[in-house]
Every structure is written in C-alpha cells, then in structure tokens.
C-alpha cells in the first residue's frame, strides 16, 4: 500500500489564471426572472468565492443586489476570467473586447454554430482568436468549470452544495459534467471541467494542470477525441510519473473505421483499440462507462493506493459471499489468496462456526460481540501481506441500520488498516445515498453492486501492479532497417500492390524468419522450382489484387510430387491466372498472426492473435502502440487465450514463445520505420514450433489504397 504522492509544487500552467482566478466578470448576466443570464448570475455567486465578481449588461444597473456595468471598460481592475454568457452572434465581439481589456482566460457556453458578423464560420474564428492571443478558453458547447476548493463557479449550474474532494473530472460532454457532479454526494471533486469543443485548451492541458494541484488525487476523464494526440499521451505519462492515477472513459469506440479495412488486423482495429492501447501504454486506467469511471475514481480519491496482492472482503452473508466469489471468478478480479498464517490468525480470533476464507463471512450469533467479530476479521486481513485492500459489506441503508455498531465500523475503516478501504453492497440499487455521503465524510468510498465493485478493484489493482514496475521502453528501430525501409518507402505508394513474395522478402531482410518460396509465371518452370525448394510443396496464386487467396480456392497444401503440383497449377491458373508462388510446407506448430494498422491519431498499432484456422477457436487479440519492448511483447502473448496452447497441451512440447516475442518486436520496429507510408500489414500465419518461428504469408497495404 502507498499513499498518493503529495505534490506541493507551484502550478505552472497557462491555465492557472482560469482555475485560480481571483476575479471574474460575467458578460450576459441578467436580473430578468427565468432568463439564462439570471441563472448564470445565480450560479456564479452560489459558492463562497473570495474574489471579486462583476456583471456586464448595458441594459441593467443592478443584478442580484450587485452593481452591473455597461461594458468591460467600466471595471476598474482587469478581471482574470471572463464568462461569456451570450449567444453566438455576440461572441466574437465579446471575446475580442475581453482580450483588449487584458482578461487572462475565458469560458464559453454556446455551441458556436453559425457565422461571425463578417460571414466567417464562428467556431474556427474563435479558435483562431484564442490561439493568436494565447488565451485559455473553456468550451464552447459546455457547462464551464467549477473549482470546488475556491468556490470559483464558471458555470450555469450552482455549486454551493458541493464539498471538496480529490477527484478532478474532465468531461467533453456537458451532460456528463452535470450527471456526475450534481448527482450523488459520495463523489467529492477538486475540479469539474466541461471542456466541450476545446476552443482554447485541450484535454491534455487540463490533465497537466490537474496533476500539478496538490489537492488532486485522481483525474477522471470522459472523452470523445484527443484533439492533440501527442500531447494527450505526454500528459498521461507525466501523470504516471507524478503518481496520479488517470481514469479514462473513451466514447465513440465503434469499429466503423474498420469497415473499409483490407487486412485482418485493420478489420479488428477500430478507434477503440487505438485509444485503449495508447492509454494503457501511457500508464492510465481504461474503463468502459461512467459507473466504472466514478467507482475507480472514488477508490483512488481516498488517497491510498494498493500494493501487491488482492482484495480482502468481509461480509455479513454467506450467500452474498458465494455471489462475490462467483463474480470474481467470471471477471478475473483479484481476490487475495489467504496464506496459512492468515488462515491460522482468523481461526484464532473468529468463532468456530465461521470458516476462514476470502470473502470472510463474519455473521455469527447476534450477541454483544457481533460487531467485534467483524472488527477482528478486518484487522487480521488488514495485517495480511497478501491483502492489498479491504472491503466491508453489511446490510446498511438510508432507511434501515440493523446494527449501529456495524455502521460505526464502516465509518472508521481507515483506522483499522492503513491499506485502501471501502464499503460496498452487492445490490447495485441499494438505497444508500445518505450513507454514501456519511462515508465520504470519513474518506470511505461506497460502491454499489458486487460486479461493479470487483471491476473497479480489478482495474485499480492492475494499474497499481503496472506502475510499481518501471515503464516498458522500446528501443529505437534498428540501424540496418534504413536501407530496407528506403526501398520500401519508395515502393509503398497508392496503386502498387506488394505481393506476398515481396512482403515476405521485406520481413526476411528485417530479420524475421520466413518460409522458403519463389514466384513462377508459367507451367514450364514450375517443376524445376519445386525440385529446388523440395517436396512437399504449397502452391498459391500470386495474381495481382487477390489478398485473401483461400477465399477464392487459390491455395493448395502438401503437394507431394510433380503430378500433384501440375494438376493443382492447371486448376489455379485456369481460374486465377498463371502467376503463382511455390513454397515449402512449414513444420507443424501453433499458427499465430501479427499485424499492424496505422492509426490517424497514434501512428502504428501492432496486433498479435491466433492465426490461420485457429482464429475461430481463439477469438482474441492484443494491441499495442509500436514499437514494443520485448517485455511488452511477452505480456501481449501471455494475455492471449492461445498462450495455453503455446505452453504445451495434450503431450505437445512448449513452443518457442521467446522467438515469437522477438519477431513481434522486430515487426513493430519495422512498422515504425515504414511510418505513414503503410496503412495495414498482416503476417498470417506465423507458425511457432518448439525451435523457432516462421512467417508463411503476408499482406501489405500502402496508405491511400484502402
């Protein structure tokens, strides 16, 4: 277990004048009942902001009992932050006037559609203004931001009810901003940011700023896209270096972009896998939905992070204990395996009727000692080195507390153990909003739902295990690639379809073992080439434009003599053309596939999966940003279900996984060297034997050919 790193550094960011504003001016404020301007004025003044707040409205002299000015020029002191609460047609002029007055940051709520007074598209015009003035702008099409700690409310949602905590929430969606920030008091925020269209600041800048705040314990990001992909990755890496967990829910994850893919890898890779690979590579936590986002953030915001091991759970129900065990097995959640010493300690302190286990059912007889049994069980698990965090479940609800001592135990969990502690309930719809708030006051996360709890625990434990190790660093592409790549960058152009033979030649020159093969254009030379290669033979069509040969019955395997070879050639050439590839039969082994797709945001993305016919049996794959280190390659292979087959099954010996990992590393370096000339690449199958690997087939697609 470790506490979240304390960061007592001065915040050095161009966003500091925005979030640390000492004075605000609201353009578009109004005293008219029911108007947006009135709602905005009420919200801006809803918290205990210690700085100055001015209102601008040329038609009113007073709003909410405060004096109102006709223009920015009428304000004596230059405000740090301008809140632009007007519609699209007035935004350009308002933003220019704020810059002329010397304002240091701005917030825009409007969606910024339409045109400026001079007929220019509004949104790009506002972006140009912000960029030229280096003005941080939050929005548009957002809800603004709230600095909970200072009471700076640059939003039209009131925030006086919010209590400060350790979560910095960054959401592209305004609805997510309100749903998460205004819904449940168990979630405690430091910053809440609705970045919207990112007119004058991108998500990476918000992450960098939040990392520097000593009050930030975790950053929760709900994002639609990274408008600055390189900056996004760099900000995640800086957060990891600072010890700040970043939890990311990326939406827009459909694989529609794969619809036009020509390779197996391209068909599998949508925007989701690219983002997940990038986020994972940078040491952040990927989640699938806002429930997971807030559950993981809640655990991190308590200020303690798990060490090695698994979670120890204490419950008041044998049936719910079994439910959690079932869910943990299905989800692969890390329940701690209790050591013999821990089991012995539990036996020594627990009633004989209770079984030492994890989860631990502590519901004994209803005596005066009932709550003490729970306390002793939690204490034993809290001391166990194999237990990385502690969870308590009991039937506590807002309308029913079956034993006050159990509630008090839940409230004081952090005093029982220095490890991360939380309260949970197996029923996701438990009525415990007030209890969750009371627990939050004592820095105890409260998570509803057994599966939701276990998912959050699994993701946090995996992150903690990963950051406890040095970041995996890939080496730069090898020097001998330069000549190879120069040739191929010249030939990888739209309209040039590299055939299988050329593709295998590139891999061989790069250092990846390939099957022996030759191209033949006519029947006359066929037997001579086959004799040189040696029977048994594989015969494949080499016709231009045919990328998936088996689909057209363009492959014949295990041809044992010249007669079989010529018969196969006569059939293939009659249907698909005279040009063929003559190839050795590979030795038996496990068929794998490696591939690459060039992502528009993050560059080359490599994949490994089962190959050949095994794809249908082992429908799983691992993606990573290229290049990958040897350790990363081995992790990717180990993460595949087919790894069990590679390890040896049903009497077969273990396959050469190390050689496969080396091939993946070399392949990833080659992909980086080819750069944006390459759109997609498949090597399938790569046959892994007990003594090495060999690439049997390959497909290359140049950028522009998709």
What does the pLDDT look like over 79-115, one tens digit per residue? 999 999 999 999 999 999 999 999 999 999 999 998 9
Judgement on whether residues 441 and 389 belong to the same structural domain of the protein = yes
Q: Residue 553 has what pLDDT?
A: 87
Is 474 within the bounds of a domain? no
What does the pLDDT look like over 498-510, one tens digit per residue? 678 888 888 998 8
Q: Residue 265 has what pLDDT?
A: 42
Question: Which range (331-335, 493-497, 526-530) has the least confidence?
Answer: 493-497
What does the pLDDT look like over 22-65, one tens digit per residue? 999 999 999 999 999 999 999 999 999 999 999 999 999 999 99
When pLDDT is averaged across residues 267-283 and rounded to a whole number, the result is 78
Q: Residue 430 has what pLDDT?
A: 96
Is 498 within the bounds of a domain? no
When pLDDT is averaged across residues 630-658 and rounded to a whole number, the result is 90
Is 386 within the bounds of a domain? yes
When pLDDT is averaged across residues 202-229 and rounded to a whole number, the result is 96
Q: Compute the residue count for the chain.
A: 706
Judgement on whether residues 224 and 161 belong to the same structural domain of the protein = yes
Residue 495 has pLDDT above 70, yes or no: no
Among 427, 445, 467, where does a domain finish?
Answer: 467
Is 349 within the bounds of a domain? yes
Q: What percent of the chain has pLDDT over 90?
A: 74
Q: Residue 220 has what pLDDT?
A: 98
Q: Show Cβ contacts of residue 696 under 8 Å, excluding neighbours closer than 6 positions.
A: 514, 515, 583, 586, 685, 686, 687
Report residue 261's pLDDT band, with 50, 70 and 90 as the boundaries.
Answer: very low
Is 336 within the bounds of a domain? yes
Judgement on whether residues 569 and 603 belong to the same structural domain of the protein = no
| Angstrom distance (rounded) from CA 314 to CA 432 | 19
- How many distinct structural domains can be found in the chain? 4
| Angstrom distance (rounded) from CA 82 to CA 110 | 14
Residue 486 has pLDDT above 90, yes or no: no
Mean pLDDT across the chain, nearest whole number? 90
Residue 337 has pLDDT above 50, yes or no: yes
Is 607 within the bounds of a domain? yes
Look up tokens 């006086």; give the residue. Answer: 160
When pLDDT is averaged across residues 459-480 and rounded to a whole number, the result is 79
- Sign, Cα dihedral of 344, 346, 347, 348: positive
CATH number at residue 578: 3.30.1490.20
Residue 258 has pLDDT above 80, yes or no: no
Judgement on whether residues 72 and 188 belong to the same structural domain of the protein = yes
Report residue 674's pLDDT band, with 50, 70 and 90 as the boundaries.
Answer: confident
| Angstrom distance (rounded) from CA 488 to CA 577 | 26
Q: 67 phi and psi, to 5 degrees?
A: -65, 145
Judgement on whether residues 570 and 605 belong to the same structural domain of the protein = no
- pTM flag (> 0.95): no
| Angstrom distance (rounded) from CA 582 to CA 565 | 9
Is 472 within the bounds of a domain? no
When pLDDT is averaged across residues 272-282 and rounded to a whole number, the result is 89
Judgement on whether residues 94 and 227 belong to the same structural domain of the protein = yes
544 against 299, higher pLDDT: 299
| Angstrom distance (rounded) from CA 144 to CA 155 | 5
Q: Residue 493 has what pLDDT?
A: 63
Residue 456 class from Cβ within 10 Å (0-12 exposed, 13-18 middle, 19+ buried)?
buried
When pLDDT is averaged across residues 72-77 and rounded to a whole number, the result is 94
When pLDDT is averaged across residues 623-639 and rounded to a whole number, the result is 94
Residue 546 has pLDDT above 80, yes or no: no
Is 637 within the bounds of a domain? yes
Among 299, 328, 345, where does a domain finish?
Answer: 299
Judgement on whether residues 220 and 105 belong to the same structural domain of the protein = yes
Q: 592 phi and psi, to 5 degrees?
A: -120, 170
Judgement on whether residues 314 and 379 belong to the same structural domain of the protein = yes
- Sign, Cα dihedral of 101, 107, 109, 113: positive
CATH number at residue 359: 3.40.50.261
Report residue 665's pLDDT band, with 50, 70 and 90 as the boundaries.
Answer: very high
| Angstrom distance (rounded) from CA 39 to CA 45 | 10
**What is the DSSP code (8-state) at residue 3?**
E
Report residue 699's pLDDT band, with 50, 70 and 90 as the boundaries.
Answer: confident
Judgement on whether residues 549 and 521 belong to the same structural domain of the protein = yes
> Residue 424 sits in which domain range?
306-467
Q: Residue 9 has what pLDDT?
A: 45
Judgement on whether residues 444 and 541 belong to the same structural domain of the protein = no
CATH number at residue 658: 3.30.470.20
* DSSP-based three-state secondary structure for 83: strand
Judgement on whether residues 178 and 37 belong to the same structural domain of the protein = yes
Judgement on whether residues 357 and 383 belong to the same structural domain of the protein = yes
What does the pLDDT look like over 443-458, one tens digit per residue? 999 999 999 999 999 9
Among 528, 560, 585, where does a domain finish?
Answer: 585
What does the pLDDT look like over 195-214, one tens digit per residue? 999 999 999 999 999 999 99
Residue 278 has pLDDT above 50, yes or no: yes
What's the angle, vertex CA 367, arms to CA 362 and CA 370, rounded to 5?
Answer: 30
Report residue 544's pLDDT band, with 50, 70 and 90 as the boundaries.
Answer: confident
Q: Show Cβ contacts of residue 50 under 8 Å, excluding neighbours closer than 6 positions.
A: 150, 151
Q: 529 phi and psi, to 5 degrees?
A: -65, -45
Write 482-486 long-range contacts (CB < 8 A, 24+).
Answer: 482/673, 484/509, 484/510, 484/670, 484/673, 485/670, 485/673, 485/674
């Amino acid at each position: 277990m470790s506490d979240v790193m304390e960061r007592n550094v001065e915040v050095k960011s161009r966003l500091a004048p925005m979030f640390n504003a000492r004075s605000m001016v609201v353009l578009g404020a109004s005293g008219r009942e029911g108007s947006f301007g009135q709602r905005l004025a009420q919200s801006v003044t809803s918290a205990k902001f210690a700085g100055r707040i001015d209102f601008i409205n040329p038609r009113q002299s007073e709003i909410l009992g405060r004096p109102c000015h006709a223009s920015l020029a009428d304000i004596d002191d230059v405000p740090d932050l301008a809140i632009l609460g007007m519609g699209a047609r007035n935004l350009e002029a308002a933003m220019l006037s704020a810059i002329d007055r010397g304002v240091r940051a701005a917030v825009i709520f409007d969606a910024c559609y339409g045109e400026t007074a001079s007929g220019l598209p509004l949104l790009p015009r506002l972006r140009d203004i912000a960029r030229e003035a280096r003005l941080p702008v939050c929005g548009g099409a957002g809800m603004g931001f709230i600095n909970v700690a200072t009471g700076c409310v640059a939003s039209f949602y009131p925030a006086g009810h919010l209590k400060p905590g350790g979560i910095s929430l960054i959401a592209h969606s305004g609805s997510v901003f309100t749903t998460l920030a205004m819904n449940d008091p168990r979630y405690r925020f430091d910053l809440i940011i609705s970045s919207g269209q990112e007119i004058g600041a991108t998500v990476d800048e918000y992450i960098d700023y939040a990392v520097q705040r000593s009050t930030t314990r975790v950053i929760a990001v709900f994002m639609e896209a990274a408008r600055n992909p390189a900056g996004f990755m760099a900000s995640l890496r800086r957060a990891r270096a600072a010890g700040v967990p970043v939890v990311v829910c990326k939406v827009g994850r459909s694989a529609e972009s794969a619809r036009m893919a020509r390779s197996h890898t391209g068909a599998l890779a949508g925007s989701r896998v690219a983002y997940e690979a990038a986020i994972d590579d940078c040491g952040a936590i990927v989640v699938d939905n806002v429930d997971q986002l807030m559950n993981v953030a809640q655990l991190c915001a308590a200020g303690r992070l798990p060490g090695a091991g698994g979670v120890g759970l204490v419950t008041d129900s044998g049936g719910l204990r079994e439910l959690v065990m079932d869910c943990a097995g299905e989800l692969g959640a890390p329940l701690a395996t209790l050591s013999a010493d821990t089991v012995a300690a539990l036996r020594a302190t627990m009633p004989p009727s209770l079984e030492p286990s994890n989860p631990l059912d502590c519901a004994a007889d209803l005596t005066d000692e009932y709550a003490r049994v729970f306390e002793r069980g939690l204490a034993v698990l809290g001391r166990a080195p194999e237990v990385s965090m502690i969870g308590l479940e009991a039937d506590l609800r807002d309308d029913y507390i079956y034993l006050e001592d159990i509630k008090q135990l839940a409230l004081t969990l952090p005093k029982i153990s220095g490890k991360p502690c939380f309260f949970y309930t197996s029923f996701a719809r438990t009525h415990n909003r007030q209890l969750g708030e009371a627990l939050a006051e004592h820095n105890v996360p409260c998570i509803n739902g057994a599966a939701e709890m276990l998912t959050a625990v699994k993701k946090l434990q995996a992150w903690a295990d990963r950051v406890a190790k040095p970041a995996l660093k890939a080496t730069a592409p090898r020097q001998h690639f330069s000549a190879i790549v120069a040739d191929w960058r010249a030939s990888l152009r739209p309209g040039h379809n590299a055939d299988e033979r050329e593709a295998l030649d590139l891999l061989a020159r790069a250092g990846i073992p390939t099957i022996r093969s030759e191209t033949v254009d006519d029947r006359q030379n066929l037997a001579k080439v086959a004799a040189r290669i040696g029977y048994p033979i594989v015969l494949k069509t080499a016709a231009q434009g045919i990328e998936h040969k088996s689909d057209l019955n363009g492959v014949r395997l295990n041809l044992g003599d010249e007669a079989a070879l010529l018969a196969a050639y006569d059939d293939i050439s009659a249907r698909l053309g005279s040009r063929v590839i003559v190839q050795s039969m590979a030795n038996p082994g496990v068929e794998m596939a490696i591939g690459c797709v060039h992502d528009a945001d993050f560059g080359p993305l490599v994949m490994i999966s089962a190959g050949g016919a095994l794809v249908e049996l082992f429908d799983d794959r691992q993606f990573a940003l290229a290049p990958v280190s040897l350790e990363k390659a081995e992790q990717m292979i180990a993460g595949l279900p087919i790894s069990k087959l590679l390890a040896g099954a049903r009497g077969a010996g273990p396959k050469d996984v190390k050689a496969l990992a080396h091939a993946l590393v070399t392949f990833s370096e080659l992909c980086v060297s080819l750069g944006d000339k390459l759109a997609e690449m498949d090597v399938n199958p790569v046959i892994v034997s007990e003594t090495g690997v060999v690439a049997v087939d390959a497909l290359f697609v140049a950028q522009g050919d998709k």
